[in-house]
Amino acid sequence: MTADKFEVLKKYFGYSSFRDGQEELVNALLAGRDVLGIMPTGAGKSLCYQIPAIIMNGITLVISPLISLMKDQVNALVQQGVSAAYLNRSLTEAQYRKALSNSANGKYKIIYVAPERLETSSFLWFALNADISLIAVDEAHCVSQWGQDFRPSYLNISSFISKLDRRPVIGAFTATATEEVKNDIIRLLKLNDPVKVTTGFDRPNLYFSVLRPQNKSAKLLELIKERKDKSGIVYCSTRKKVEEVCELLNNNGISATRYHAGLNDDERVKNQDDFVYDRKTVMVATNAFGMGIDKSDVRFVIHYNMPKNIESYYQEAGRAGRDGVDADCILLYAKADVSTCKYFIENIEDNAELSQEQKDFFKQREEERLKQMVFYCTTSDCLRGYMLKYFGDEYKGSCGKCSNCLTEFETADVTVEAQKILSCIIRTGQNYGVKMISDVLRGVSSDRITRAGLDRQSTFGIMKDVRATEIRYIIEKLEEQDYIISIGAGKPVLHVTEMSYPVLRGNAGVKIRKAKQLKSKALKTEVYDVDRELFDALKIVRMNFAKKKGVPAFVIFSDATLADMCRIMPTTEAEFLSVSGVGANKLEKYGEAFLNVIREWSV
């Protein structure tokens, strides 16, 4: 008799209900249909193929791009009582041969394999003699050149499949939903009339906020100190920034490590492990860090610099809170980030395979995306709504969980200020950037200003009593509303546009939205509305098991599961089994130890 999907869900994974999209995908695979599952990070794609894998006769191959990802997933499966293994180049030759012969002997139900391995003769020998019923392609967007993470070895997948005597069912999974990528996946993996499931992109447990600090370093320290001992990622736009920020954190007593493409392989692996195994709490990284980080208890993702588009932002920020517990996604915005991004776009790697026309098209597309990203940083509308609409989801109203929804805005008439700023830009010959214009308006006597004779301009000092931040803010808003444009990538200079003249002549007014104050509490998630001391005590038990088994803590139990224990306070095995994330196998392995702590607590 075959096991029922709900039984498997509870017994191995410890959950009593499916999340959005999961059941449909499981059903389709069990019915022998190919599938394409598009769900955001943290939505629970793995379960969609792991459950059919456990139920179906025969073996499931999971094709996955990254070694670390395979290792964590296999660890997690083994902890849940599923026989699984991985085949990749992290194994020695002898280990690999052993694993392969175990596979051939039917020892594993689920085998993770790197795409490069598929067409090696030893693997083919195994595959041709094995009973493979399902092939799951994880991170399936890697097959597409349109995606961010194109991996040429993914192109071998379909030729590998065509060599098998019997075509297994194929499931492809990704978080990337653009049309080009979707079509590439179906075409290049030769999916056969797949059942397509796309779930909404909302991640309700994430808080989004954009801050514009005067001093980013100080703000960052403050934010991290508020989140003491919580695991988090800080993304920076360049390697150099990563080095600086990591040093800043370490000098301030924060346990941080770093990751970027300039480090050698060994150090990257070590730093990543330090973070995943909670030996370091904060990871400072470029966008090279991320795919394959299944660490489920990342409580915050802070962007020290604005990324180049919303796709990247949502993907990176989405690495927070995969366990479904509240987490923060904070972006520290500064105008200078825009110039950095423009610079990157201007200097897009000279790719010899691209024609000039393609390059121009590419640049134009990237510029358009950058604009949308800047809008995200400067809008006063609901941030979640803005992003979801960008991805084509319906979204109405305001979420109440982003910095804009939590801020009260007022509309201010800044016509007079705008006239002063615009005329200063014109009088100084449209030759200067924000800082100079602001200095002239405030009447700062610097060398540069006197040398250029700007202190003799009629606009010199006409905004003496206004703070520099205020002037800067109004200039930004004028730019957003197209009264001003910045020209040039490196050190852009301000020009006025056609729209400015009516304002200067007094025929039009300018209004901007200004933050008045934060509504209710400041944006800061208090993650667990549970007994903090019990939670910490359980964390220690979890850490001890993790160390003993050599696996990351969240592989033993997620934060969400510990929080649920605090809520339910189980004292019997049956009650323990009712905790979300506790299955039969984990009950047997860990139940006693956790129950003991909870029992002591309840007396």
Write out the residues near Mg ion by the rule CB under 5 A: 45
Nearer to Mg ion, 233 or 475 (CB): 233
The one segment of 41-49, 366-374, 420-428, 537-545 that binds ligand ADP by CB under 6 A: 41-49
Binding mask 507-546 for ligand ADP (x = CB under 6 A): ----------------------------------------
Compute the least distance from the CB of residue 241 to ligand ADP, in Å.
Answer: 27
Q: Closest distance between ligand ADP and the C-beta of residue 590, in Å? A: 16
Cα 346 from Cα 364, distance rounded (Å)? 10
State the DSSP code for 526.
Answer: -
Residue 45 Cβ, how far from Mg ion at the closest point, in Å?
5
**Residue 42, interface with ligand ADP (CB under 6 A)?**
yes
List the single partner that 302 binds among ligand ADP, Mg ion, none, CB under 5 to 8 Å by kind: none
Q: What is the nearest approach in angstroms of Mg ion to the Cβ of residue 171? A: 12
Contacts (Cβ under 8 Å, ≥6 apart) of 300:
223, 227, 230, 232, 233, 320, 327, 328, 329, 330
Examine residue 322 and tell whether it contacts ligand ADP (CB under 6 A): yes
User: Using CA atoms, how far apart are residues 196 and 104, in angstroms rounded to an integer?
Assistant: 32
* CB of 581 vs ligand ADP, minimal distance in Å: 7
Residue range at the interface with ligand ADP (CB under 6 A); choices 43-51, 113-121, 151-159, 507-515? 43-51
Q: What is the signed CA dihedral for 242, 245, 251, 257, rounded to 10 degrees?
A: -40
Residue 575's DSSP bridge partners are: none
Find which of Mg ion, ligand ADP, none residue 224 binds, CB within 5 to 8 Å per kind. Answer: none
Strands across the sheet containing 282-285: 206-211, 327-332, 300-303, 232-235, 282-285, 256-259
Note whether 41 binds ligand ADP by CB under 6 A.
Answer: yes
DSSP character for 449? H
Q: Please, what is the minimum distance in Å from the beta carbon of residue 73 to Mg ion?
A: 8
Cβ closest to Mg ion, residue 176 vs residue 500: 176
Question: Please, what is the minimum distance in Å from the beta carbon of residue 18 to ligand ADP?
Answer: 5
Q: How far is the CB of 291 from ligand ADP (least distance, A)?
A: 10
Of 5, 11, 12, 15, which lies in the binding site for ligand ADP, with binding defined by CB under 6 A?
15
- Distance set, CA 237 to CA 242, 271, 312, 332 (Å): 8, 19, 12, 12
Long-range pairs for 543-552: beta carbons < 8 A, 24 or more residues apart: 543/278, 545/590, 545/593, 546/277, 546/278, 549/79, 551/75, 551/76, 551/79, 552/72, 552/75, 552/276, 552/277, 552/278, 552/295
The type of residue at 457 is Q
Residue labelled with tokens 């139900």: 109
- Which of 202, 323, 417, 476: binder of ligand ADP (CB under 6 A)? 323
**Stretch 556-575 residues interacting with ligand ADP (CB under 6 A):** 558
DSSP states along 481-519: TTSEEEE-SSS-EEEE-TTHHHHHTTSS--EEEEEEEE-
Q: Which of 25, 26, 39, 565 binds ligand ADP (CB under 6 A)?
A: 39
Stretch touching ligand ADP by CB under 6 A, among 38-46, 63-71, 77-85, 563-571:
38-46
**Looking at 21-65, which runs of residues are DSSP E strands?**
35-38, 59-63
- Per-residue x/- track, 284-313, ligand ADP (CB under 6 A): ----------x-x-----------------
Task: Give the residue among 232, 113, 71, 18 at the shortest CA–CA distance from 555.
Answer: 71
Query: Which of helix, strand or coil describes residue 53?
Result: helix
Draw the binding track, 225-264, toward ligand ADP (x: CB under 6 A; -: no contact).
----------------------------------------
Where do runs of H (alpha helix) occur along 130-238?
157-163, 179-188, 216-226
Asked if residue 82 binds ligand ADP (CB under 6 A), the reply is no
Contacted entry of Mg ion, ligand ADP, none for residue 583, CB cut-off 5 to 8 Å set by kind? none
Which one of ligand ADP, Mg ion, none interacts with residue 44, CB within 5 to 8 A by kind? ligand ADP
User: CA 16, 21, 27, 32 torsion: positive or negative?
Assistant: negative
Q: Taking CB within 5 to 8 Å according to partner kind, which of Mg ion, ligand ADP, none is near residue 594? A: none
Question: How many residues contact ligand ADP, by CB under 6 A?
Answer: 17
Q: Which is nearer to Mg ion, 140 or 541 (CB)?
A: 140
Is 44 one of the binding residues for ligand ADP (CB under 6 A)? yes
- If the CB atoms of residues 18 and 154 are measured against ligand ADP, the closer one turns out to be 18
The CB-of-81 to ligand ADP minimum distance in angstroms stands at 14
Q: Are 35 and 112 in contact (CB under 8 A)?
A: no
CA angle at residue 392 from 388 to 398, to 5 degrees? 35
Residue nearest to Mg ion (CB): 45
Q: Does 19 bind ligand ADP (CB under 6 A)?
A: yes
Q: Which is nearer to ligand ADP, 49 or 483 (CB)?
A: 49
Give the Cβ contact number of residue 33 at 10 Å: 17
Shortest spacing between CB 60 and ligand ADP, in angstroms: 15
Pick 45 or 303: Cβ nearer ligand ADP: 45
Closest CB to ligand ADP: residue number = 44
Buried b or exposed e, range 231-248, using 16+ CB within 10 angstroms:
bbbbbbbebebbbebbeb
47 touches which of ligand ADP, Mg ion, none (CB within 5 to 8 A by kind)? ligand ADP
Give the whole-angstrom CA distance, residue 278 versus residue 246. Answer: 16
- Residue listed under structure tokens 């200079």: 493
- Which residues are at the interface with ligand ADP (CB under 6 A)? 15, 18-19, 22, 39, 41-47, 294, 296, 322-323, 558
